[in-house]
Structure 1
Amino acid sequence: MKTLMDMIKRISLLVLLAITLIGCKSENKEAVNDTQKVSSQNALSAVIDSVNSEINNGDYGLIDRFLVIQNDKLLADFRYNQDYETIVQKYDTTNHQYNFNNTNWHPYYKKSELHTLQSVTKSITSILLGIALDLNQDYNVSTKAMPLLIGYDTDFKDERKQSISIEDLLTMRSGIQWNEETDHNDHTNDCFLLEASDNWIEYVLSKPMDTIPGTKFVYNGGGTVLLGKIVRTITGKRIDKWAEEKLFEPLGITDYYWKETPDGEIDTEGGLYLKAEDLATIGALFLNKGKWNGKQIVSESWVSTSTSPLLKNVKPQWRDVTGYGYQWWIPEYAEDGSVGIYSANGYGGQYLMMAPKHKLIIVFNGWNINSEPEKSTYRVLRDRIIPTLKK
């Protein structure tokens, strides 16, 4: 009996010892994880501080704002004051909304905190179209575009033009002849000619076709202008009103400006102004798969498809292997289609960039339009921040 009791005591002690050791291992593991997290955060902070220092040193040219958000926590918010009034004196500063050197319009709207987004506007136009299609089941991305663009004095006889789908416009594969790859001040540039025209939609629709829709990527802001009109046709509301009702108000965005075209439409290819923090809010909406405060603002499927590399290596002349979705750029993706980074990019240095795996949002506002800086903010996330998080 005594021997049995001794055995029970010994077993109990062994069990207790095992539990204690397991507890120690768990605590040690947690301690190691905490140490790793602190080390990673310190390394990230060091990189952010380094980039900020380089911006102040002028390495990235004219930068106005730099935001870093991870796991809904603001890690950095740097503002930079540039004397644009003096900088632009050697350029034409005629007061016109598409004169990019006029300081009433660029980079801030009339001395406010609203910053021009340029082609980041295209990505937001895509969101608004996605919401419209989510709520109107009679239309989808396969719907032909031309029947939604009636009432214009243009020639639709070319069967190729008749076959353009909404998805062809979203993925810059409309087949419409378009030249937007030269300097914006080049007077043969279709974006320049578009912005100088009295009727933007007619200008785009009057362009001839040069290839079969859906076959070739050609960067075309005119296609995004057509998407803006299509939103109006589907919803019965001009896109700025639709945005206010279905996107901005639900996200708590109360302050914005959108350029109006001479024909009474809205510039959906480059005319939106937002505060940097409100642009970051749109990034947070996408990281949360289209949901905000428990409400689905835009469908998860639209977010996923928009930010997937539907087209791969669309800019082979760039050093980056870049994909393209529904008006979103995909600067980092794997062969299986998984996405490391997706971004909304705009002229002059407007970037809303997300790294979903790391729950990370980067916002840059800048205005590098008259000279090219030594370093590009476009590569800060991929080349500077992500490698730090992987260590």
Structure 2
Amino acid sequence: MLEEFVAQVAAQGLTLHGAAVMQHGEKLEEYRWAPDVPYELHSLSKSFTAMAIGLLVEAGKLRLDDAAISFFPREKLPEVISPRLQALTVRHLLTMAPGHSTSLMLSPQRRALTTSDWVRYYFSVAQDLEPGERFVYDSGCTYILSAIIQNVTGQKTRDYLIPRLFEPMGMGAPRWDECPLGITAGGWGLWLRTDEVLRFGQLLLQKGVWEGQRLIPEDWIAQATSRQIDTASFSGGADNHVGYGYQFWMNTVGGYRADGAFAQYSIVLPEKDAVIAINAHNENQPVLDAVWQTILPQL
């Protein structure tokens, strides 16, 4: 099943670590370019943070329309709180529509930060759009969600998910990078193996049930993996233009994916009852195109 895919990415000079395909609950094939050790996941980490938010919604600990600033002490907020900041909700953060016309905390911007208090920094930047007005991809949205999780639960997002998701799925207690003040990064920095990324996709495909145990609410997965906001004006390849859910991207071919920089994917194709996991270090769209052209027709 992966022979043509391997040949196509080799012909394009793409660098991959591993690829695996599961269908009807069985792993069909896996190909390794490098050992299956934990790799740092970039924005694929965001989808795990979304699972923690869903658990808190189910527990009644927060609502999607809660004001983001309501979870933080006054000293973390600007001296003057604007109407736009007051209007920013958990839902806006999930859909990457926080009211900023440019991102604040993508990787190069984080490296340039001179403050250790990233929450205070994020809220200090004035919004030039209304929350919900436009999709603007920013890891800062997910970082703030992770800070909310920590403030609500008293636990870091990683620690909150260990007994609820990671351990039941056989992932143990994975590393997840933190900010200078010890808040789980949320939007990046989770370290998992390709096989674990595959299992995460299978959990989503199974609507939150793993080995007979419900880990994530079914209705939350349905919401998170459905198109919630338009991304037609966003940059990048075709698969960046068909919509975004709650920390998930929609696919041009149907289904959805947890998506990280350099072609890191947990691709879920419900109509095919299939999951495809890839860990790589390339431009994203050429790898997705290879998946659609070589693997998808065989499912």
- The answer for the alignment partner of 1:327 in structure 2 is 247
Question: What is the aligned counterpart of 2:256 among 342, 350, 360?
Answer: 342
Question: What is the aligned counterpart of 1:119 among 26, 43, 47?
Answer: 43
Distance (whole Å) between structure 1 residues aligned to residue 11 and residue 71 of structure 2: 47
- The answer for the alignment partner of 2:4 in structure 1 is 50
Distance (whole Å) between structure 1 residues aligned to residue 131 and residue 279 of structure 2: 34
- Structure 1 unaligned regions, length at least 5: 1-44, 82-110, 334-339
Matched, 1:361 2:275: yes
Question: What is the aligned counterpart of 1:267 among 177, 185, 188?
Answer: 185
* Mapping of residues 122-201 of structure 1, within 5 Å: 122-135=46-59, 137-155=60-78, 156-179=80-103, 184-185=107-108, 190-194=109-113, 197-201=115-119
Matched, 1:245 2:168: no
- The alpha carbon displacement at 1:275 in A equals 1.1
CA contact (8 A) 1:69 1:75 kept: yes
Matched, 1:305 2:259: no
Question: What is the aligned counterpart of 1:377 among 264, 269, 287?
Answer: 287
CA contact (8 A) 1:166 1:227 kept: yes
Distance (whole Å) between structure 1 residues aligned to residue 5 and residue 73 of structure 2: 50
Secondary structure, in 3 states, of the residue corresponding to 1:266? coil
Secondary structure, in 3 states, of the residue corresponding to 1:257? coil
- Structure 2 unaligned regions, length at least 5: none
Distance (whole Å) between structure 2 residues aligned to residue 259 and residue 350 of structure 1: 17
Letter of the 1:376 partner, please give it.
P
Distance (whole Å) between structure 2 residues aligned to residue 205 and residue 197 of structure 1: 13
Q: Looking at both structures, which has the greater relative contact order when contacts are Cα pairs under 8 Å and sequence separation is at least 6?
A: 2
Distance (whole Å) between structure 1 residues aligned to residue 293 and residue 230 of structure 2: 20
| Matched residue count | 296
How many percent identity over aligned positions?
A: 26
Distance change >3 Å, CA 169–CA 58, structure 1 → 2: same
RMSD across aligned C-alpha pairs, in angstroms?
Answer: 2.3
Matched, 1:258 2:171: no
- Structure number, greater radius of gyration: 1
Letter of the 2:295 partner, please give it.
I
Letter of the 2:265 partner, please give it.
Y
Secondary structure, in 3 states, of the residue corresponding to 1:354? strand
Letter of the 1:328 partner, please give it.
F
CA contact (8 A) 2:41 2:189 kept: yes
Letter of the 1:228 partner, please give it.
S
CA contact (8 A) 2:104 2:140 kept: no
Distance (whole Å) between structure 2 residues aligned to residue 77 and residue 212 of structure 1: 45
Secondary structure, in 3 states, of the residue corresponding to 1:78? strand
Distance (whole Å) between structure 2 residues aligned to residue 178 and residue 235 of structure 1: 30
TM, length-normalised to structure 1 = 0.70
Distance (whole Å) between structure 1 residues aligned to residue 51 and residue 13 of structure 2: 30
* Mapping of residues 5-154 of structure 1, within 5 Å: 45=1, 48-55=2-9, 57=10, 59-81=12-34, 113-135=37-59, 137-154=60-77
- The alpha carbon displacement at 1:178 in A equals 3.1
Secondary structure, in 3 states, of the residue corresponding to 2:63? coil
Letter of the 1:226 partner, please give it.
I
CA contact (8 A) 1:175 1:216 kept: yes
My pick for the range that moved more, 120-129 or 233-242, is 233-242
